[in-house]
Amino acid sequence: MTRRRENRRDAQLKKEKTDDGSRVRASWFAFRLCALASALLALWGASEVRAQQPGAHQGHEQHARETARPHYTRTVSSYTPPDVTLLDMNGTRVPLSSALGYDGPVLLQFIFTTCPTICPVMTGTLAAAQNKFGPELEKIRLISISIDPEQDTPERLQEYARKFKAKGRWLFLTGKLDDIVAVQRAFDAYRGNKMRHEPITFLRASPGENWLRLDGLMSATELVAECRRLIAR
């Protein structure tokens, strides 16, 4: 399991390397190798879900049949966030450990405010989930961390939060570029360039527990159901 995760990370690092800096002209050969690796990873990802979430996977399959589109995958992982201090939208310094160590359920996303396509939908999902939770929302902490911290100053995060009608306990964080990269790396969410980021939502029920990682976009109903199922366990 651990080795597989490392393999996956190695593959990701290789991807970053080839795409970073000057454009490497991909040869067919390299592309085929990549495609093969990706296919193997996809297979492995599916088996991991089966291995770890048997009940949930059945639910997922059923849903997939209904919509004919398997649109997100679930993985359970343990992450070790770096010891960094970020800034909230009021400009107050917030140690990441205290934000993530919140004594209650946490939902975490990486976004940026000028992101055109997936962030408005990811943030919109959290915003819609806020309203679906009802009184439970009091206990839940939502966290959106900007992956474009030099652009996303606290003022811009405030504006973004207003735009999505964020309620009280929702934290919007920015910080130093290197720290933000370190946080993304710790969550296996760093893709070398903000335009390449992927829609991922991380959930955990209480401090110290593993994270449920949801890769892909989903409806607010699905997200709320995932969250409730996690808390109930």
Partner 1 sequence: MTSSPTTKHTHFSRRLSPTRALVFLFLILIPATRAFVVSSTAQSARAGSDVESGERIYREGILPSGQPVRATVQGDIKLEGTQFNCASCHRRSGFGSSEGAAYVPPISWRALSHERELRRADLFRKLYQEAQPTRFRARVRDPRVRPAYTDETLAAALREGKDPSGRELDPLMPRYELSDGDVRDLVAYLKTLSAAPAPGVDKSRIHFATVVTQGVSPEERRAMLDVMDAYFRWKNADTARMLQRPGVSPLYKEDFYGAYREWVLHVWELKGPPATWPGQLQRYYREQPVFALLSGIGAGSWQPVHDFCEREAVPCLFPHTDLPVVSPTGDYSLYFSKGLIVEAEALAQRLRDETGAARATRIVQVYRDAVTGLAPARALRHALRGDGATRLRDRVIENNRELTPAFWKSLIKEERPSVLVLWLGQSDFSYERIQINTYFALYVAEHSLTRLVENFSREYFIESVEHEMEGSPNPGIFPHLSLGPGQRFASKGSYIVRLPGETKAERETAGDWIIP
**Within positions 168 to 227, which residues make up the interface with partner 1, using CB under 8 A?**
177, 191-199, 216-221
Question: Would you say 160 or 205 has its CB closer to partner 1?
Answer: 160
Q: Of these, 33, 36, 39, 46, which contacts partner 1 (CB under 8 A)?
A: 39
Question: Would you say 148 or 204 has its CB closer to partner 1?
Answer: 148
Q: Using an 8 Å Cβ cutoff, are 130 and 124 in contact?
A: no
Question: Would you say 45 or 104 has its CB closer to partner 1?
Answer: 45
Q: Can residue 164 be called a binding residue for partner 1 (CB under 8 A)?
A: yes
Q: Using an 8 Å Cβ cutoff, are 223 and 201 in contact?
A: yes
Pairing of strands 141-146, 106-111: parallel
Q: Using an 8 Å Cβ cutoff, are 100 and 81 in contact?
A: yes
Count of residues of this chain found to bind partner 1 when the rule CB under 8 A is applied: 54
Query: What token pair was written down for 20?
Result: 């970073």
Q: Of these, 4, 31, 97, 207, which contacts partner 1 (CB under 8 A)?
A: 31
> How far is residue 15 CA from its own chain's centroid?
19
Output phi, psi for 104, to 5 deg: 165, 180
Question: Would you say 34 or 94 has its CB closer to partner 1?
Answer: 34
Question: Would you say 29 or 98 has its CB closer to partner 1?
Answer: 29
Q: Using an 8 Å Cβ cutoff, are 210 and 53 in contact?
A: no
Q: Can residue 59 be called a binding residue for partner 1 (CB under 8 A)?
A: no
Dump the DSSP string for 145-209: EES-TTT--HHHHHHHHHHTT--TT-EEEE--HHHHHHHHHHTT---SSGGG---EEEEESSTTS
Q: Of these, 10, 38, 82, 139, which contacts partner 1 (CB under 8 A)?
A: 38
**Within positions 69 to 128, which residues make up the interface with partner 1, using CB under 8 A?**
69, 71, 112, 114-118, 120-121, 124-125, 127-128
Query: CA 164 to CA 142: how far, in whole Å?
Result: 13
Chain positions contacting partner 1, by CB under 8 A: 15-16, 18-23, 25-27, 31, 35, 38-39, 41-42, 67, 69, 71, 112, 114-118, 120-121, 124-125, 127-128, 148, 150-151, 153, 163-164, 177, 191-199, 216-221
